[in-house]
């Protein structure tokens, strides 16, 4: 079975633990599902449908034992923008297409790509989303009327400013009751779900003491039906698929990132290990099935997953039970949800935004005052004032460019010579201590597009004569791309006209590149050496010895004999070279 590994060592004694965890998480998921749906610009029941269908599917088909899936806060700005631009019906199609993308990502084993997204980028857009969610709930918290919701953050701020005078005291009171209850509940009853208690208490107070004074789910969206919608396959054509492919890709990317981050958090809390590719497959299947029942896109929910673990979950069964619990509540208690004030939902989302804002990490990265700080701020600002797509694209491009810059900065190309102990050092080279015929260079760092030109220019600019032999020590070059190879080829072409190029200590990856491009053959197999000492021995055997007569540089230990005019002709037969360089 596809989930056998997640049920290894499972026993009957584990079932009560999963039931309890699933029950608690299911109860917590109900107000969150409705709140996320409303904030995304759709009816609250669609959030319930998503919690039921996606929650069960993600637990059934996913790659984590403890993952709880459903609608999440991270999706709110994205889904709201899609609803405003394309409509709810097309949001379902985009969600289905996103499911296909996630499924293909899992099949083609792209789950590990999450580790290549820089932390400043994820923290930047997560905090940006949190700010957007928080501000988006101010109108409901204050009970403002006449508010028009916009996709642009600035326009939403403008709406708040224009309508601030319509604030409703009863809405504020309702919201404060819910907020205070949520804050106090964990302190006095840690096992009791604060959001649900806050929602129930504030709704009861509003219904009993000032009915008709605050907007409710019923007055704003109508009564919530107590059943799942009928299975429905939307009409899709090629033109519609092309139009919705961009939003679908955005949903898939954010869903993949969020779900895998949640799975990583679960691993850290339980000392377990999830299957990232299987998790993407599960997310894909869930997002393909959920829209067919009217549900919005879903992903792994970090907070609910953590709650699931803290309440003793053992296996994916808890996630399935969580979905069943929400379904039962929908079937038996849905009509009562119509009495819930919108002001009661606002604090729940505000607390979600506060918890997902990564305040401490955001502040920590800012304090480093590095290029990561710039990437973080850029991603954050673009998420809030433009959109998530642009923010992530710019953040990733910035990270790549800045990484390349940092890698090029640590690339070292230095001229070196042996010291008295025959060890190679860069401090040995001076105007009076250098070999006119043999130039040796230490190359350290990746020889890639960001550093290759500097590497070439350093060598070409520091040699103001034409040495007979150029020796490149490359044992500290872990990687070479085709740009690095091209620059090395240019150096080889230049020196091959009047001398030879030797390479020592080359690593496997750069050597493979040289062999594939043919440069290895151009340099010559006999010009590659495992050790620098061997290369120096070879070089000293191929210099023009008549030019050594009278030379006072004494770069190598053999130079004293080579410099002696009388012994130059016979030195080749007498010299015994040491391999200790």
> Is the pLDDT at 574 greater than 60, yes or no?
no
In angstroms, rounded to a whole number, what is the distance separating the alpha carbons of residues 38 and 87? 14
Which position has the token pair 């429905």?
Answer: 232
In angstroms, rounded to a whole number, what is the distance separating the alpha carbons of residues 376 and 121? 6
Contact between residue 499 and residue 468 where contact means Cβ atoms under 8 Å apart: yes
- Helix ranges (H only) for 3-43 are 15-39
CA torsion sign for 258, 262, 264, 265 is: positive
> Is the pLDDT at 71 greater than 70, yes or no?
yes
The alpha carbon of residue 563 and the mean position of all alpha carbons in its chain are separated, in whole angstroms, by 61
Q: How many CB atoms lie within 10 A of CB 160?
A: 15
Helix (H, G, I), strand (E, B) or coil at 40: coil
Nearest alpha-carbon partner for 486 in 464, 462, 459, 518: 518
Helix (H, G, I), strand (E, B) or coil at 341: strand
Domains annotated for the chain, with CATH where assigned, are: 25-399 (no CATH), 410-574 (3.30.750.24)
CA torsion sign for 469, 475, 477, 481 is: positive
pLDDT at 242: 95
In angstroms, rounded to a whole number, what is the distance separating the alpha carbons of residues 547 and 409? 38
Q: Which of 117-131, 265-279, 282-296 has the highest mean pLDDT?
A: 282-296
CA torsion sign for 402, 405, 409, 410 is: positive
Confidence of residue 432 (pLDDT cuts 50, 70, 90): confident
> Is the pLDDT at 566 greater than 50, yes or no?
no
Nearest alpha-carbon partner for 111 in 279, 268, 242: 279
* pLDDT tens string 437-448: 888 999 999 999
Confidence of residue 4 (pLDDT cuts 50, 70, 90): low
Sequence-ordered strand ranges (E) for 9-128 = 69-70
pLDDT at 458: 85
Strands 528-529 and 500-504: parallel
Q: Which residues pair with 444 in a beta bridge?
A: 412, 476
- Helix ranges (H only) for 442-518 are 452-462, 482-495, 508-517
pLDDT at 575: 45
Contact between residue 518 and residue 489 where contact means Cβ atoms under 8 Å apart: no
Decide which of 227 and 102 is more confident. 102
Confidence of residue 464 (pLDDT cuts 50, 70, 90): low
In angstroms, rounded to a whole number, what is the distance separating the alpha carbons of residues 49 and 228? 7
pLDDT at 421: 61
Give the CA dihedral 169, 173, 174, 180, nearest 10 degrees: 160
Confidence of residue 137 (pLDDT cuts 50, 70, 90): very high
* pLDDT tens string 321-376: 999 999 999 999 998 999 999 999 999 999 999 988 889 999 999 999 989 999 99
Report the pLDDT averaged over residues 62-72.
94
Report the pLDDT averaged over residues 32-54.
95
Output the CA angle 264-297-174, nearest 5 degrees: 90
Q: How many CB atoms lie within 10 A of CB 286?
A: 33
Give the CA dihedral 287, 288, 294, 295, nearest 10 degrees: -10
* pLDDT tens string 353-364: 998 888 999 999
* pLDDT tens string 202-229: 999 999 999 989 999 999 998 899 888 8
Which position has the token pair 């070409």?
Answer: 460
In angstroms, rounded to a whole number, what is the distance separating the alpha carbons of residues 19 and 188? 24
Buried-state track 403-414, b at ≥16 Cβ within 10 A, e below 16: eeeebbeebbbb
pLDDT at 404: 86
Which position has the token pair 């907070």?
Answer: 303
pLDDT at 465: 63
Cβ burial of 263 (10 Å; 0-12, 13-18, 19+) is buried
In angstroms, rounded to a whole number, what is the distance separating the alpha carbons of residues 307 and 103? 27
Q: What percent of the chain has pLDDT over 70?
A: 94
In angstroms, rounded to a whole number, what is the distance separating the alpha carbons of residues 238 and 220? 35
pLDDT at 130: 93
| φ, ψ for residue 271, nearest 5 deg | 55, 40
């Amino acid at each position: 079975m596809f989930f056998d590994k997640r049920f290894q060592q499972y026993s009957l004694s584990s079932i009560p633990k999963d039931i309890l965890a699933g029950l608690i998480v299911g109860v917590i998921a109900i107000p969150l599902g409705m709140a996320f749906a409303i904030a995304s610009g759709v009816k609250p029941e669609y959030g319930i449908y998503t919690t039921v269908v996606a929650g069960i599917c993600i637990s059934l088909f996913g790659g984590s034992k403890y993952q709880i899936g459903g609608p999440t806060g991270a999706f709110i700005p994205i889904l709201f923008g899609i609803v405003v631009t394309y409509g709810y019906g097309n949001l379902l199609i985009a969600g289905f297409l996103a499911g296909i993308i996630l499924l293909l990502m899992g099949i083609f084993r792209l789950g590990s790509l999450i580790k290549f997204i820089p932390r400043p980028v994820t923290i930047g857009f997560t905090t940006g989303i949190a700010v957007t969610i928080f501000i988006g709930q101010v109108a409901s918290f204050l009970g403002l009327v006449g508010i028009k919701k916009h996709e642009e953050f600035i326009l939403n701020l403008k709406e708040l400013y224009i309508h601030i005078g319509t604030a409703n005291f009863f809405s504020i009171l309702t919201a404060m009751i819910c907020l205070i209850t949520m804050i106090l509940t964990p302190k006095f009853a840690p096992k009791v779900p604060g959001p649900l208690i806050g929602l129930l208490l504030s709704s009861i107070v509003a219904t009993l003491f000032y009915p008709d004074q605050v907007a409710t789910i019923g007055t704003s969206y109508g009564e919530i039906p107590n059943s799942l919608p009928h299975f429905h396959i939307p009409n899709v054509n090629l033109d519609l698929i092309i139009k919705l492919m961009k939003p679908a890709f955005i949903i898939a990317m954010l869903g993949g990132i969020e779900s895998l981050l949640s799975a990583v958090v679960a691993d850290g809390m339980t000392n377990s290990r999830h299957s990232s590719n299987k998790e993407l497959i599960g997310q894909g299947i869930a997002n393909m099935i959920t829209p067919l029942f009217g549900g919005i896109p879903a992903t792994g929910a970090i907070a609910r997953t953590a709650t699931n673990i803290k309440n003793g979950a053992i296996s994916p069964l808890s996630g399935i039970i969580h979905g069943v619990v929400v379904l039962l509540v929908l079937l038996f208690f849905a009509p009562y949800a119509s009495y819930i004030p919108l002001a009661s939902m606002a604090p729940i989302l505000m607390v979600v935004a506060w918890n997902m804002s990564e305040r401490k990490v955001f502040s920590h990265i800012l304090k480093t005052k590095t290029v990561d700080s710039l990437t973080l701020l850029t991603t954050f600002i673009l998420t809030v004032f433009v959109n998530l797509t642009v923010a992530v694209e710019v953040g990733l491009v910035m990270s790549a460019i800045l990484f390349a810059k940092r890698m090029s900065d640590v690339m070292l190309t230095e001229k070196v010579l042996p010291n008295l102990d025959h060890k190679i050092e860069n401090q040995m080279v001076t105007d009076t201590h250098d070999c006119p015929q043999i130039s040796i260079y230490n190359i350290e760092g990746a020889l890639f597009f960001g550093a290759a030109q500097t590497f070439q220019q350093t060598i070409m600019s520091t040699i103001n004569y034409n040495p007979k032999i150029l020796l490149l020590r490359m044992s500290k070059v872990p990687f070479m791309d085709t740009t690095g190879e091209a620059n090395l080829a240019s150096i080889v072409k230049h020196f091959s006209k009047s001398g030879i190029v030797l390479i020592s200590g080359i690593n496997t990856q750069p050597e493979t590149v040289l062999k594939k491009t043919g440069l290895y053959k151009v340099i010559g197999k006999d010009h590659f050496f495992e050790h620098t000492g061997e290369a120096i021995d070879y070089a000293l055997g191929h210099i023009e010895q008549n030019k050594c007569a009278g030379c006072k540089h004494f770069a190598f230990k053999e130079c004293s004999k080579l410099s002696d005019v009388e012994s130059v002709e016979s030195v080749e037969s007498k010299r015994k070279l040491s391999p200790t360089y």
